[in-house]
Structure 1
Amino acid sequence: MKKVELSDTDKEELNKLEKIAGKQLPYRFPNKRGLTFQIVEFIRPGFIKRRIFDRNGHCLFLIKYNLDRTIAEFIEFGVTDGHYFRKTVWNEKDEKNEFYQYQKQQITDFAKIKTKLQYYRSMVQEKKAEVLPLENDMKQYANELENHAYYQKEWVKRDKVTDTAAIHSLEKAEKLDFTKKRDLRRALQLRNVLRISAINSGFKTYNKNVTNFQKRMTDLHLGKIKYLHPMDVLSDHDLRHASNLLAGAAAEELVNKKIKEVQFGKILIHNLILPYPYEKQTKLGNNQIDHLVIASSGIFCFETKARTSKNHSYDMLKDYSEIADQVAKHKESIKYVLEKSNNPAIINLLKRIPSIDQLIRNVVVVVSRTEEKFTLEKIERYERVGIEVCQLDDIQSLLVKAPAGIGLQPEEVSAIGEEMTNNKALEEEKTFSENILLFEDDMKLDEKAVDEQLYHANQVIKHIEHINNLLADYLSGAREWRQLYQQYRYWKKFYDQVRSFVDAETYYKQHQIDKEILDKI
């Protein structure tokens, strides 16, 4: 603190100042800063503090005087933030020490602030030039990814799928041709949906990549890819059901081929749906029969089952309830059609034969999914209710053997075939909630369509990998750029706040000559 000796004038002025200390006083000194009022205070042990404000109440100047009203410190604050200021201090010898400050940063020369600003501006531009190509590459890959995602259709459809449509899509997806015996045998195997399982596994990987990628893009505030979403994938239950459905279709086709090998006059109807009076009510439902053969030896209603044999045998008893109920409905539906027929040939036939039940023969053909040679165990219960159980190789002998007193004439065979065809239910094939349709929602599915979908899925994964690889470099560069940009903003604000500060030295000289603190009030 400067030691001063006060003159009578100084003492008189101090007495005046003491009376108005702490009050808001007008500031009438001409200025271009919008200064409107000031406050003077005494600071013990021996200083006078003067603060000058603009019309918004922002303190732009703080001047600290010695008791003889000579200036000890001159501080000018930034126009928007009081943390920015330039402080000028004069010692006892009137030697000036000046520095600029923001937060903890002190700069003794304004030129250094400008140098710092220019340095960080150039560094920000340089780093941006490095990051921009990566950003452009990411946008390009993201656009291509969006395009592939747009054409990537759901590969699984579950709503209202018939057995026929489901089996068709399974055949195409597994690249099976049911006209070839080798493919039929492959479709029967326990592991008959290998390609579908592999595709499903691929889509699980696809989903994991997509989910993680979308989360990462969201977390980084880069925005989600609009059309990119996880695919519906098959559960273990779905795969088992698809495997059983495909095996059942293959078994039916093997039975179909075996029936066609029998060389005599017969009518073969495949997947016949007949009206059936469920619960003996008037309302008709429908009942699908795998194969209906009308021959001179009778009416054969074939039900095909693909089963897994164990130790060269299969226990038929465990399927009895399901099969017995099913074939009973088959027989009832055939009887229903024949008994209400107006065809004279059929009317005379029903009068001629001892029993219509003897005319209709229910046959269950069991096709093994594991071994060609096996035996059927515990079939006695089936035989007691008139259900014949056999394997593929037994079909021919069954068709040529007629029960005693049963023999159909050619015109009767034709009449029954015509009646069955005419009574074929016109309603659409039933749909099942467990069925799935792969890749397409129509019957035009082919290998090309499957491959196109897999191509788009693989391209999505490929582009995600590209973007993830670019992100590593981009994020590193972007983080560095942000740090540099923060420094640049720091120094730019510093520069903008203090570059218009007045010349403190000129102010000092003027006020040393004229010590009138209150500026002519």
Structure 2
Amino acid sequence: MERMWTNWYLASEGVENDAVVQSAQAAEQLINPDYDHTRQLSDQNLAGVRELNGLLVSYNQLGVAQAATLTQEQLVNAENLLAGAAGEWLVDQAVKSVAAAVFHNVILPCKYDRNRPVGDNQIDNLVITSTGIYCIEVKVRKIVGKLFDFNRLGRGIYDQISYHKEALTQVLQPMGISPNFIKTIVVVINRLGNDDFKLKNQEDLQRAGSQVVKLSVLNLFLSNDGFALLNQQQIQAIEQAIQSQRLPDRRTYPANVRFKLTQAHLDKARQISQAVRLGIPLAQNVTYHGRLNDYPLTGLTGKQQNMLWLIVGRLYGFGCGMLQLTRSELRTGAGYGGRDFLRLDQQLSELAEFMQQSKLFQKAKYEDKKLTVSVSKKYSFLFNGC
């Protein structure tokens, strides 16, 4: 069990934000096929992974095995990234009917001042229409009480919108595009899924030249924002300039993880759930299809039969993957108390030969104090079904 669950997620400094979002989406969709962008936006957007992680925490408390588990910081970080990505996707969907071009998650080079090297600036959504070029900063928050106070965002929001405009100005300056054509919008999205809230303390942002809107009125705002400033030829040139200057997204957070869940993990989780309910470690919990009871074990000693059922228990939920058990694991798990290891190796070799000759196993081989076994695809349901 420890081996299987060691790598159900990958944690390292090199995991980028996009990898977190994409792998978390895949994990939740594997657990819940109905998972969509609405669920991704909600405050329960990582419910499946949280439930699974809690199950592993409970199993670890039995004291037999230690599966890798996520910290609260890692879970919250993934939840926030998922919600942010869902909000940006919703903005894309809202504006595409009125926009000439829509960019998502745009990173542009930016020279912040003469004393610093060229850095980069990330814009959530970049929209081009005939009335201007819009840098959209998306703020996804859980809004309780029907009121969103912009003071919650702190002073950093002013730097964000000014840097967005500065980065885009530097990209478009060689084309002679006036900075006056570049506009900034802050869009507030409620993670609780409704727009039934009011905005407070947004006046300073508006005085700084940025519009502040809710998602439900963004499309209408863009449709009615002044007169045409850009013709089709200019729009195409702006689009090409942005695309040519765009940088790859390399953003990371220390708590980033990439999820690597598979169906085999979820199948195994059912057995772990049973072990937690009964308070019985997996080493003592053999789960399999009832038809395996009809399989003849003629020729096997009692100890070999114990080892066989131990192997069957380990194969539950493992699919047709290659399982490897050490002599020590088989000896301990099957309750073999003898110290005659030559005799034990002989019995394990005989057991592997018995398994190889049966139709149930694709491979069964014992060498170098390790037994390697995989289930025949035709009969995998006997080991993976309860």
Shorter-chain TM-score bucket reads: 0.5 to 0.7
- Tell me the CA shift for residue 384 of structure 1: 0.9
Unaligned runs of 5+ in 1: 1-147, 214-228, 351-355, 440-448, 479-521
| Candidates 34, 49, 69, aligned match of 1:233 | 69
- Aligned pair 1:335/2:169, yes or no? yes
Q: Name the residue aligned to 2:20.
A: 166
Give the distance between the partners of 1:268 and 1:176, measured in 2 at CA.
30
1:432 maps to 2:266 = no
Count of paired positions: 285
Q: Is 1:305–1:364's contact at 8 Å kept on the other side of the alignment?
A: yes
Matches within 5 A, 1:9-24: none
2:7 match: 154
Give the Cα separation in 2 of the matches to 1:419 and 1:453.
46
Confirm or deny that 1:298 pairs with 2:132.
yes
Give unpaired runs (5+ residues) of structure 2: 276-280, 286-309, 311-328, 339-386
Which AA in structure 1 matches 2:109? P
Correspondence for 2:240 among 399, 402, 418: 418
Structure 1 residue 474, shift from structure 2 partner: 5.5
Q: Is the 8 A contact 2:73 2:255 kept in 1?
A: no
Contact 1:187 1:250 in 2 (8 A): yes
Tell me which residue corresponds to 1:243.
79
| Change in 2 beyond 3 A, CA 1:408/1:165 | same
1:207 aligned residue = 60
- Aligned residue for 1:232, secondary structure, equals coil
Kindly indicate whether the alpha-carbon contact (under 8 Å) linking 2:2 and 2:66 is maintained by their aligned counterparts in 1: no
| Aligned residue runs from structure 1 range 96-111, under 5 A | none
Task: Give distance in 2, aligned partners of 1:151 and 1:472.
Answer: 17
Residues 1:409 and 2:207 are matched in the alignment: no
1:361-510 equivalences in 2 (<5 Å): 361-372=183-194, 373-403=196-226, 407-425=229-247, 427=248, 429-439=250-260, 450-456=262-268, 463-466=282-285
CA offset digits 1:156-194 (Å, max 9, x no partner): 2221111111001111111189xx9x8222222212211
Counterparts in 2 of 1:197 and 1:158: CA distance versus 1, 3 Å = same
Instruction: Give distance in 2, aligned partners of 1:382 and 1:318.
Output: 13
Aligned positions of 1:175-190 closer than 5 A: 175=29, 183-190=36-43
8 A Cα contact 1:312 1:371, kept in partner: no
Per-residue CA distance 1:330-384 (angstroms, 9 max, x = gap): 1110011112x2xxxx32x44xxxxx2x311111111101241222122111111
Change over 3 Å in CA distance of 1:314–1:428 after alignment to 2: closer
1 CA distance for matches of 2:238 and 2:83? 31
Q: Measured at CA, do residues 298 and 320 of structure 1 come closer, stay the same or move farther in structure 2, by a change above 3 Å?
A: farther
Contact 1:269–1:291 (Cα < 8 Å) also in 2: yes
TM-score, normalization: structure 1?
0.50
Q: Give the letter aligned to residue 26 of structure 2.
A: K
Write the distance in 1 (CA, Å) between the matches of 2:207 and 2:249. 35
What is the DSSP-based 3-state SS (H/G/I as helix, E as strand, rest coil) of the residue aligned with 1:175? helix
RMSD of the alignment, in Å?
A: 3.1
Amino acid at match of 1:288: Q
Assess if the C-alpha contact under 8 Å between 2:30 and 2:263 holds in 1: no
Letter in 2 for 1:203: L
Query: In the aligned structure 1, how far is the partner of 2:80 from the partner of 2:334?
Result: 50
* Cα 1:276–1:464 shift into 2, 3 Å: same
